[in-house]
Structure 1
Amino acid sequence: MSFFRKKGLFILLIGIILLVVLVGYSLSGRDGVTLPEQMMKDATGGAQKIVSAPVRFVKGIGTNISDIRNAYEENRQLKKKISEYKGMDYHIQKLKEENDELRAQLHITESIRDYTPIQATVISRSPERWVEQVTINKGKHDGVKENMAVRTADGMVGKIRSAAQFSSTVQLLSGFDQFNRISATIARKKGKDVFGMVEGFDVESKYLTFRIIEESEQNVKKGEKVYSSGLGGKFPAGLLIGKVKEVKPDQYGLTETALIEPAADLYNLNNVIVVDRSLETDNATDEPEEGDDGQ
């Protein structure tokens, strides 16, 4: 036992001495690298490459996934912005149309002096009476009264049917019948003016009927414009109602009835003008016909 223990101690001592010698040799200044060191470095480098390759691959996949996610998010944000820009373009176009309409109305109200304009906005349209009535945001508080004419920049659209304090109901020309008439005229530079009554609306053709009185000249032509005459005492003269599209004689051939295309779009109303006539109804130059409400 003693022999083997001494032998083991001797081998351990020799090993320590060799290790110290090798460490000292490796720490001393040398120009070259020994073969064992080269082999060790090559083996270590190869192992590092083998280990690092999958790590780099997995890391690259993670980076690609992150890039794809970022690209997807950026694409989603860009699509959202494009959608917003499209909405803004539509909004800008609508604002431009409204601005042009208001500018046209302002020009009209500056050039016509025989009535006081009350600017109003359409706030609703009755579903059950879609072609007959709309509601505006001005009422008695703003000076609106029943039977006042209502127009747009293009022409007349109807009259005030009823007025509350802060809103009013407008009866459109498309809702007129034989009991709601407008004293109208075709003014001519040459020849006699034509007088008559606008009464009724044909929903199918979307034309007004203009019944020409017997005393008027009967040669009404297509394309002639029809205006309010102002003779009824409620509407001022010169409000454009529409233009003649067709002329039909009555069954006896004594009078004519013209079909009038409204000048204003009765189905697309946003801003209107309520006509507060400056003339008193007592100054009317004629009396309305029997059954006429004197407009």
Structure 2
Amino acid sequence: MEQILRPVYQERASLPDTLSVLLIENQREDDPITDTFDTILFIITSNNEVPIQTKHYTDGKLKAAMHIISEKQLTHWLLVGTNKKIIDWLVLGKIYFDRDEYAERLKQQLSAEPLFGRNIKMGMELAKMIRAYNEGKIHFERKRYMDAYLRAINSLHHLARLVAIKANTLPEETVWSQMKKIDPAVYKLYEELIGSEEAVEKRLDLVFLASEFFIHNYTNEASEHLLGILNKKESWNIQELHEREELSLYSSDLEFFIEYLVDKQLIETVSVPSKNDLLFHREYRLARALKTM
């Protein structure tokens, strides 16, 4: 199949926006890494207009898939971790074309840092955990226990993912199986919530108390990515932060996370004059105390 595909990838390699061309061959007939295809032609392009392009080929016996992925889309997948086979393609793929050693450098980075974008991943999970915790606590205080229970499950799920990431392990769909080995205490907390014979009110009280402890313990490390960006200039308005490409991964949790860090005095607010004398723009900066550390 490789020989038959040669004209296809040679044509792609001749295009100025093609960064790398890799070939991945299946190891078994039902290989999930190649989506059961015999061969994957993985092409990375700097053209971000169309993030994903796919074509399927066959020579009558074997089948192949060509995936043209934009650099921006690839980075998004690596940071968010929603397409795990991409890492397999990068690690296992045979490089046929590599402009400025783009794929080779990615391979080396993944080898040195198996969990690509560890800091931002931790920040995203902590932000989601805090939101679920806060919403759950409100439901709990209003005695809406089933709503609180759902938020507690969600909060623990993000805690488990955060713990896995801290341990340089990519969270899997079966993250609770991972927790048995990585952090039995976190797994025990989850087990108590879903399996204990205690009244749901008592179980929730325990989970929210423990969650508060974990949030406190992980805040400094998990906020390093966001605080590092804030430190790049004197102050930022919220729109500027939303427009930072890597911060867009926080999605709707960004503003909530910022306000949490303001409350914890890791971020300071700055009042900037606006056209209205009675109103000020609210901007954000790294806390002065952190700048002097």
Normalised to the residue count of structure 1, the TM-score between the two structures is 0.23
Structure possessing the higher radius of gyration over alpha carbons:
1
Query: Which has the higher relative contact order, 1 or 2, with Cα contacts under 8 A spaced 6 or more apart?
Result: 1
More helix by share: 2
User: Higher strand fraction: Structure 1 or Structure 2?
Assistant: 1
